[in-house]
Amino acid sequence: MSHDLFEAARAAMRLAYAPYSKFPVGAAIRAEDGKIYAGANIENISFPQGWCAEPTAISQMIMGGAKRIVEMAVIAEKLPLCPPCGGCRQKIAEFAAAKTPIYLCDETGVKKTMTMEELLPSSFATDTIG
């Protein structure tokens, strides 16, 4: 079930534009419409202007017309079980539930599953603002 998501994340990672860090990352979301939306990190010569794989995948999901993350996989070529960075955790949380599984992968498949609330406990909740 999650293997197709892993494969989509790995395929996305191969499209990463990461000439500065040389740290390709891929992410893939299964959304509420059943479709997979994937993305890679995209860097910039003005370093702070680059962004992570996770927001690329989220952008794909939103522009595909979906709004909810059912499950998500993340993979980095050079770091097995690479977890989403802090900023990405907040971005993912916007579209996920407390129990949404996030799969951390190595080059062969899903190696660890964490829930959204494990990754981002005591989060600033979306409904706080109303």
User: Does residue 11 sit in helix, strand or coil?
Assistant: helix
Question: Binding pattern to ligand THU, positions 53-92, x when CB under 6 A?
Answer: xx-----------------------------xx--x----
| Triad 52, 57, 58: Cα angle to 5° | 100
Residue 45: DSSP 8-state: S
Could you say whether residue 50 binds ligand THU (CB under 6 A)? yes
Could you say whether residue 43 binds ligand THU (CB under 6 A)? yes
Quickly tell me which residue has 């690479």 as its tokens: 82
For the question of residue 94 being annotated catalytic, the response is no
Distance, C-alpha 49 to centroid of its chain: 18
Q: What does the binding site for ligand THU look like in residue numbers (CB under 6 A)?
A: 18, 21, 23, 25, 41, 43, 50, 52-54, 84-85, 88
